[in-house]
Structure 1
Amino acid sequence: MDAELIAMQLFSGVALGAILVMVALGLSIIFGMLGVVNFAHGALFMVGAYAGLYVATLTGSFWWGLLVAPLAVGAFGMLIERVLIRPLYGRSIDDPLLLTFGLGYVLVETVRILFGNEGMPFPTPPELAGVADLGIGYFPIYRLFVVGVVAVILLLLWLGLEKTRFGLIVRAGARDPQIMRVLGVDVARVWLMVFGLGVGLTALGGVLAAPMRSVDPEMGTLVLAEAFVVTVIGGMGSLVGAIVAGLLIGIAISMTALFAPEMATIVMFALMALVLLIRPQGLFGKPGRA
């Protein structure tokens, strides 16, 4: 087994990890700010993929699907927060968890009714078809594009959270929402926008992942499990943890698939168990946060 094959497999793991980062980031943002464990996150990932496919088919352009779907699903997420989640604030953490768990099933069955059970292909845009020579081998251009988009999103998210007033409010509200209310901040509005942002990120992940796999109603199930594993390893509510753990899991799955394909599905759970034994709060989490 030569070094080029290993290097290409590592890069494939980064591309897979980039998708996991997008989904886990949305999950971590929602939990970190609202304290809501969103079990509908995988279903919203799937809805994002279907929305992207629908818009792309309607307009004939992948780019419109990539732009419109996250915005539309993010707005839908804000509606979910306003109508379903908000009345449960201040109650047991189990209440929104169970609600979003049931909501996930509702979304999946709704998509089944509208689009059927069969998987639907999402063609790679012609501009991003083919492969590129990286010097260590040839790699699909579309996967390079996915890594680039996720890198840009991470940069914009960091700038938004660290360099803007809204980001300051979000970070302060995650620590002490009561003080923010005393200071006159409309915390409910901030939570609405944060929930929409988290859902929009996972919807974007769904659109980006769609050309690499078929779009089907169950595509969010495994992604949800992977996102929770990433979130637990990185630390509940930690954005840095979601990024590091997402890339770690992506590379671990990719390299395991190369050397021991039958172990590729379970390696992430083994890593999670190991991290929990050594550091129960996750790599970047705070004790007691969960």
Structure 2
Amino acid sequence: MDIFGLPSQAVAGQLLLGLINGSFYALLSLGLAVIFGMLNITNFAHGAQYMMGAFCALLLLKGFDIPLLRFQDGWVPVLTLVHVELGFGYWWALVVAPILVGLIGVSIERLFLRWLYKLDQVYGLLLTFGLALIIQGAFRNLYGTSGRPYRAPLQLQGSQDLGFMILPNYRAWVLVVSIVVCASTWFVIERTRLGSYLRAATENPTLVRAFGVNVPLMITLTYGFGVALAALAGVMAAPIYNVSPLMGADLIIVVFAVVVIGGMGSMAGAIFAGYGLGLLEAITKMIVPQASETVIFIVMMVVLLIRPQGLLGRA
């Protein structure tokens, strides 16, 4: 049976690809929504932090070089590179990489962003945009611009024949994990006491402090958690896409469009728009391939004209 002039198996595969892309859109836009909704900071470094998560997974597996000063003939200093082999595989990277990149995010918040909360939002956008350029430039100088492969773990290699399509095991894993992480994050922030404290700390920090809550610590950990979500998406993307210093540069523009469509600061909107726009992009590729790269921006333009606050955002 043909759909859109294509065999049903090809259509199912294309829709699966759309869901996979939507999984990364949802995870990244959720991290952006958490940071903007809680801190009122437009984190333009999110794409660079996504890239850092992928590189962290690669370095944990293959190791890295560190400069070491040695002396020849007892007095001649020579700078040499010593390779440090780590050998941490994918499963370790899923835990370690988000923690490490999240700690870097905590440092960024403590050193830079904490001074900008009372200023106009444009200052936070410019600062994080500059940080993104610095991070991408540093990785490009260290590792070049060519992509580096990262193999999926043996347990997730192979595929399943569902009759109407072939489902790769790793892509199914990415889809399931992204849904679980997105749903869990939404539940914690919207339906638990911790989430109520977080929301209250952004709206009335003085009142929350009166209850003995350490508001600055909560804000710092919130930014670190949003960054960790980006790093987690980078680890899961590493076996699908090549690990490259520029892998987050183009994606972050699309993710910002997804956040705007869902509603700035709306976690449910970010998740809904991420998966929905991933599917829409896949359908557009089957019907009008030339428009697949612009359909998300067309939707953003229409949403801004009809509902400026986004689909699920607050006015």
Instruction: Provide the TM-score with structure 1 as the length reference.
Output: 0.94
What's the CA shift for 1:274?
A: 1.1
Contact 1:20–1:247 (8 Å) recurs in 2: yes
What's the CA shift for 1:98?
A: 0.8
Partner of 2:39: 34
User: For the residues of structure 1 that align with 2:211 and 2:163, how far apart are their CA atoms?
Assistant: 56
Secondary structure, counterpart of 2:135 in structure 1: helix
What's the CA shift for 1:181?
A: 2.8
In structure 1, stretches of 5+ residues that fail to align are none
Partner of 1:149: 177
Q: 1:259 aligns with which of 287, 297, 302?
A: 287
Root-mean-square deviation over aligned CA pairs: 1.5
What's the CA shift for 1:124?
A: 1.8
Larger CA Rg, structure 1 vs 2: 2
Higher mean C-alpha deviation, range 43-52 or range 256-265: 256-265
Q: 1:223 aligns with which of 220, 243, 251?
A: 251
Aligned residues: 287
Q: 2:207 aligns with which of 179, 184, 208?
A: 179
User: For the residues of structure 2 that align with 1:64 and 1:167, how far apart are their CA atoms?
Assistant: 28
Contact 2:27–2:230 (8 Å) recurs in 1: yes
1:111-150, aligned counterparts within 5 Å? 111-150=139-178
Partner of 2:109: 81
Contact 2:186–2:268 (8 Å) recurs in 1: no
What's the CA shift for 1:162?
A: 4.2
Q: 2:97 aligns with which of 69, 84, 89?
A: 69
Contact 2:40–2:117 (8 Å) recurs in 1: no
Q: Which amino acid is the alignment partner of residue 10 of structure 1?
A: L
Contact 1:233–1:283 (8 Å) recurs in 2: yes
Partner of 1:281: 309
User: For the residues of structure 2 that align with 1:146 and 1:152, how far apart are their CA atoms?
Assistant: 10
Structure with greater helix share of residues: 1
Q: Deviations over 1:49-74 (max 9, x none)?
A: 10111112232511111221111001
Q: Deviations over 1:76-105 (max 9, x none)?
A: 100100011011221121111111110000
Secondary structure, counterpart of 1:211 in structure 2: coil
Q: 1:270 aligns with which of 298, 302, 310?
A: 298
Partner of 1:56: 61
Partner of 2:27: 22
Secondary structure, counterpart of 2:248 in structure 1: helix
Partner of 1:6: 11
Q: Which amino acid is the alignment partner of residue 41 of structure 1?
A: H
Secondary structure, counterpart of 1:100 in structure 2: helix
Partner of 2:73: none
Higher mean C-alpha deviation, range 109-118 or range 81-90: 109-118
Q: Deviations over 1:214-238 (max 9, x none)?
A: 1111111111111101100000000
Q: 1:233 aligns with which of 235, 238, 261?
A: 261
Q: Deviations over 1:110-141 (max 9, x none)?
A: 11222222211111222211211233210211
Q: Report whether the alignment pairs 1:158 with 2:163.
A: no
What's the CA shift for 1:173?
A: 2.2
Structure with greater strand share of residues: 2
Q: Which amino acid is the alignment partner of residue 46 of structure 2?
A: H
User: For the residues of structure 2 that align with 1:5 and 1:117, how far apart are their CA atoms?
Assistant: 32
What's the CA shift for 1:257?
A: 1.7
User: For the residues of structure 1 that align with 2:188 and 2:264, how far apart are their CA atoms?
Assistant: 20
What's the CA shift for 1:156?
A: 2.5
User: For the residues of structure 1 that align with 2:163 and 2:267, how far apart are their CA atoms?
Assistant: 32
Q: Which amino acid is the alignment partner of residue 8 of structure 1?
A: G
What's the CA shift for 1:153?
A: 1.0
CA change 1:85–1:120 in 2 (3 A) is same
Q: Report whether the alignment pairs 1:212 with 2:240.
A: yes
Instruction: Provide the TM-score with structure 2 as the length reference.
Output: 0.87
Contact 1:56–1:64 (8 Å) recurs in 2: no
User: For the residues of structure 2 that align with 1:163 and 1:279, how far apart are their CA atoms?
Assistant: 26
Secondary structure, counterpart of 1:132 in structure 2: strand
Partner of 2:75: none
User: For the residues of structure 2 that align with 1:124 and 1:271, how far apart are their CA atoms?
Assistant: 34
Q: Which amino acid is the alignment partner of residue 234 of structure 1?
A: G
Q: Matched residues, percent identical?
A: 42
User: For the residues of structure 2 that align with 1:22 and 1:224, how far apart are their CA atoms?
Assistant: 12
Q: Which amino acid is the alignment partner of residue 21 of structure 1?
A: A
Contact 2:160–2:168 (8 Å) recurs in 1: yes
